[in-house]
Amino acid sequence: WLIRLLPNGPAAPIVAGANARLELQHFMEDPIVQALLATHPSLGRVLRPLHTMLGLRYPPSIKRPKSTKPRPKRIRKPKRQPSFMDQYKINPDGSIDFTPEQLHEILGPPPPPVPPWHQPFIPSFNVKKLWRKGP
C-alpha cells in the first residue's frame, strides 16, 4: 500500500521526485499515521528507507531508539606485527645470510651421499687421440 503512493515509470525519479517527497511529508503529518506509528513503532523500519531515498530527515516518530547496551570496545591491532623475516640478517644488497641452524630448519637434513653406481657415467678419454687424422 505504501509503494503505491510513490510515482512509477522510467522517468519517475526525475519528474516526480519532488512530488513524491511532498506526498511523503504530508503522509507523515496525517494524524492517523501518527497514531499508527505510536502504536506500532516497527513501521519506522519500512519508512526510514523511503525518507533516505527521498532525502528527508527522519521525524521523531520513526527515529531508531538508542541502544541500551554499550558498544563493545574495539580491539586494536598492534602497530607493527613482527615479521618472519626479522629472524634473518638481510644485507644491503638484498641477500640473506643464514646460520647453519636456519638452513637446517628450512631445507631439512642434508641428503645422504650418492653411491658410485648411481653417479652418471662420464667417460675419461682423450679426444685428441681419438680424432682421426686426415688421409
DSSP 69-85: SPPPPPPPPPSSPPPGG
Q: What percent of the chain has pLDDT over 70?
A: 73
Query: DSSP class of residue 96?
Result: E
**Contact predicate 24/54, CB 8 Å:** yes
Mean pLDDT of 32-49: 90
Q: Which residue has cell 499515521?
A: 33
Q: Which residue has the higher pLDDT, 88 or 14?
A: 88
Q: What is the pLDDT of residue 131?
A: 65
Q: What is the pLDDT of residue 12?
A: 57
Task: Calculate the alpha carbon distances from 102 to 88, 91, 109 in Å.
Answer: 9, 16, 11
Task: Tell me the three state secondary structure of residue 89.
Answer: strand
Tally the residues of the chain: 135
Mean pLDDT of 82-94: 78
* pLDDT at 32 exceeding the cut of 90: yes
Q: Which of 1-15, 30-44, 80-94 has the highest mean pLDDT?
A: 30-44
Q: Which residue has the higher pLDDT, 25 or 12?
A: 25
Indicate the pairing of strand 89-90 with strand 96-97.
antiparallel
Rounded distance between C-alpha atoms, residue 16 and residue 69, angstroms? 42
Q: What is the pLDDT of residue 39?
A: 92
**What are the boundaries of each domain within the chain?**
3-54, 85-110
Q: What is the mean pLDDT of the chain?
A: 78
Mean pLDDT of 42-60: 88
* pLDDT at 100 exceeding the cut of 80: yes
Mean pLDDT of 47-71: 86
The letter for the amino acid at 33 is V
Spatial CA neighbour of 4 closest among 52, 73, 70, 50: 50
**Contact predicate 7/16, CB 8 Å:** yes
Q: What is the pLDDT of residue 115?
A: 77
